[in-house]
């Protein structure tokens, strides 16, 4: 049946997380986790749901950008889009006028992600499959046809990408079965936000250990003595064999990052995340080189704005862990490009998640990565944060610190309509009460 998209709506939905310091870090001290929430509807009455994540003020700008992109989507059929998804991706990201205000970065790319996430959701629903399964079952050449290779052919050609996918067909069913049984390994960031007291941190750590968590991330970067105390505390709580990661959220300059992290080396972090500007490829390369002798890797990506940036991070050996984001990049299409490049450069992918809906979305991509690209779990894990899942129709399922593969058709980011209405900004009840 033809599925012409006849309507796109977008809403500004915010959760007042700053009231309890959830999500606080060295640069984002008072985030209100938010989404620009997109619903597309077909003339057959089918719906697709998409979102992009933001942290409060400014969400209205992304909403405005989604509205601007809407004209390029409404009127197209799903068949038309997916029969030339590369072309459609290019249409959205390279509009002769709108590309000026990007291109492929910041607000306009976040909006592109929201719209395309909804399109992918619609596609998966129309096939009656969860998104990861749609991808896993898809013919490699069809997958390749969704990727815009513009600006990355010096690092990865279409043929190389195809070869990677074809090669990973071997053992695929085994990995599907394994994932369905065991799930994908996760780590938790819920224990140690910067605004939390030591008392709360200890309590959350104890609870997490009891729930089977073995990998923990701590926010650092605001105050060195404070970081030493908190890292020491956490390392004490989790013992020498569990994994610790630290995250500075872009707080430092290059030299400062090296000095600061060196002081924290005794707590044996696996990686330092976002040590400096997300744009500073050469800076990350310098930091990587300096920290390698200490056994500390560099992780970044949640604010890496497109495949061209990831390409260079890989080319320059500027990161040792690729942190893809389901909403920062241009949806599944651009993430496919990054997963394939990471594989070629032999760098593990450990997705960014948390916020609102990021866990729900990115679990699909990392399942695909394991089953159809990397075929490896070495040094790999997906971030998990235990907030706001109750607002989703198909919330993530975590068992024994693993993401269990979603079973419902789609991309898992349909929200409860009641949650959307209550949290709509500024007219929703939650916000009216706070005024």
Q: Contact positions toward a copy of itself, by CB under 8 A? A: 27-32, 54-58, 60-62, 64-65, 68, 94-110, 150-154, 250, 253-255, 276-283, 286, 303, 305-306, 308-309, 311-312, 315-316
Catalytic residue among 219, 284, 364, 423: 219
Active site residue 393: no
Q: Which is nearer to a copy of itself, 156 or 168 (CB)?
A: 156
In 54-105, which ranges are continuous DSSP H helix?
Answer: 59-73, 78-83, 85-93
Per DSSP, the three-state class of 131 is helix
| Residue 251 to residue 368: CA distance in whole angstroms | 32
Backbone dihedral angles phi then psi of residue 398, each to the nearest 5 degrees: -105, 130
**Tokens matching residue 406:** 């979603």
Active site residue 219: yes
Q: Under 8 Å CB-to-CB from 215, ≥6 apart: which residues?
A: 185, 186, 187, 188, 242, 243, 244, 245, 381, 401
Q: How far is the CB of 350 from a copy of itself (least distance, A)?
A: 20
Q: How far is the CB of 96 from a copy of itself (least distance, A)?
A: 5
Q: How far is the CB of 249 from a copy of itself (least distance, A)?
A: 10
Helix (H) / strand (E) containing 264:
helix 254-264
Q: Which is nearer to a copy of itself, 47 or 262 (CB)?
A: 262
Q: Which is nearer to a copy of itself, 15 or 132 (CB)?
A: 15
Q: Which is nearer to a copy of itself, 84 or 158 (CB)?
A: 158
Which whole-number Å values give the CA distances from 49 to 65, 114, 116, 395, 416, in the listed order?
Answer: 17, 9, 9, 14, 11
Q: Which is nearer to a copy of itself, 97 or 159 (CB)?
A: 97
41, 119 Cβ separation under 8 angstroms: no
Per DSSP, the three-state class of 165 is helix
Q: Which is nearer to a copy of itself, 247 or 280 (CB)?
A: 280
Residue bearing tokens 């070495």: 378
Per DSSP, the three-state class of 331 is helix
Q: How far is CA 273 from the centre of its chain?
A: 14
Which whole-number Å values give the CA distances from 385 to 150, 192, 299, 352, 382, in the listed order?
Answer: 34, 11, 18, 10, 10
**Tokens matching residue 226:** 């404070």
Residues tagged active-site: 219, 352
């Amino acid at each position: 049946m033809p599925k012409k998209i006849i309507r796109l709506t977008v809403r500004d939905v915010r959760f007042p997380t700053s009231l309890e310091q959830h999500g606080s870090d060295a640069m984002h001290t008072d985030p209100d986790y938010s989404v620009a929430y997109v619903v597309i509807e077909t003339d057959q009455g089918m719906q697709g749901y998409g979102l992009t994540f933001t942290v409060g003020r400014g969400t209205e700008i992304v909403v405005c950008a989604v509205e601007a992109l809407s004209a390029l989507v409404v009127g197209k059929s799903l068949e038309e889009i997916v029969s030339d998804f590369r072309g459609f991706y290019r249409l959205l990201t390279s509009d002769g006028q709108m590309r000026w205000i990007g291109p492929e970065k910041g607000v306009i790319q976040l909006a592109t992600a929201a719209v395309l996430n909804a399109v992918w959701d619609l596609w998966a629903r129309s096939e009656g499959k969860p998104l990861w399964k749609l991808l896993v079952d898809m013919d490699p050449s069809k997958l390749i046809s969704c990727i815009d290779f513009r600006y990355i052919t010096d690092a990865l050609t279409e043929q190389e990408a195809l070869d990677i996918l074809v090669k990973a067909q071997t053992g695929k069913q085994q990995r599907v079965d394994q994932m369905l049984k065991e799930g994908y390994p996760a780590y938790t960031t819920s224990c140690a936000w910067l605004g939390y007291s030591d008392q709360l941190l200890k309590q959350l750590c104890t609870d997490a250990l009891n729930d089977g968590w073995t990998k923990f991330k701590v926010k650092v970067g605001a105050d060195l003595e404070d970081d030493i105390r908190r890292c020491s505390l956490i390392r004490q709580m989790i013992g020498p064999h569990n994994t610790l990661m630290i995250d500075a959220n872009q707080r430092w300059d290059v030299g400062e990052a090296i000095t600061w992290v060196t002081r924290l080396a005794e707590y044996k972090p696996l990686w330092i995340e976002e040590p400096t500007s997300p744009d500073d490829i050469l800076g990350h390369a310098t930091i990587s080189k300096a920290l390698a002798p200490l056994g500390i890797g560099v992780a970044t990506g949640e604010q890496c704005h497109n495949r061209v940036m990831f390409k260079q991070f890989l080319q320059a050996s500027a990161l040792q862990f690729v942190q893809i984001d389901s909403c920062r990049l241009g949806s599944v299409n651009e993430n496919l490009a990054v997963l394939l490049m990471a594989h070629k450069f032999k760098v593990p992918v450990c997705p960014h998640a948390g916020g609102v809906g990021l866990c729900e979305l990115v679990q699909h991509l990392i399942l695909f990565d394991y089953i159809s690209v990397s075929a490896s779990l070495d040094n790999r894990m997906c971030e998990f944060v235990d907030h706001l899942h109750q607002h989703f129709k198909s919330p993530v399922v975590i068992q024994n610190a693993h993401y269990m593969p979603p079973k419902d058709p789609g991309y898992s980011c349909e929200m409860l309509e009641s949650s959307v209405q209550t949290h709509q900004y500024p007219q929703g009840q939650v916000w009216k009460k706070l005024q």
